[in-house]
Amino acid sequence: MYVVMNRMSVNKEYQNDFEERFKKRQGLVDQSPGFIRNMVLRPANDSGDHHIVLTLWQDRQAFLDWTNSEAFKQAHVQARETPKEMFIGKNSLEMFEVVSDTQS
């Protein structure tokens, strides 16, 4: 399994809007071959200003295929229309190979 983690520092004034955008997303990634799951994590108990967006994939190639697809471009149109004030600084994208999983 392959996990992609996008750490996004969200201005507290925009937190609800940020979360609503994911709840109302088009869901284009859901149809992508090799896609498993998407989660948006909110910081607990004011522990920080960043949200984590996780996507789980069958493997690295499935993720790369998604990023090169037309559906990926369509899914990220809304991101380009996002107010710049929504974010505090740059996001951080990290990718991981799963080596152990209690669900397996």
Give alpha helix (H) positions in the chain. 15-23, 60-67, 70-75, 77-80
pLDDT value at 77 more than 80: no
102 occurs within a structural domain: no
The position carrying tokens 């990220």 is: 76
CA distance 95 to 41: 16
pLDDT value at 80 more than 70: no
CB atoms within 10 A of CB 53: 17
CATH number at residue 25: 3.30.70.100
pLDDT single digits (tens) 12-36: 899 999 898 888 887 889 999 999 9
103 occurs within a structural domain: no
The position carrying tokens 């997303």 is: 25
104 occurs within a structural domain: no
Predicted confidence band at 78 (pLDDT cuts at 50, 70, 90)?
low
Residues facing 55 on adjacent strands: 4, 38
pTM: 0.86
What range does the domain containing 83 cover? 2-97
Task: Give the total number of structural domains in the chain.
Answer: 1
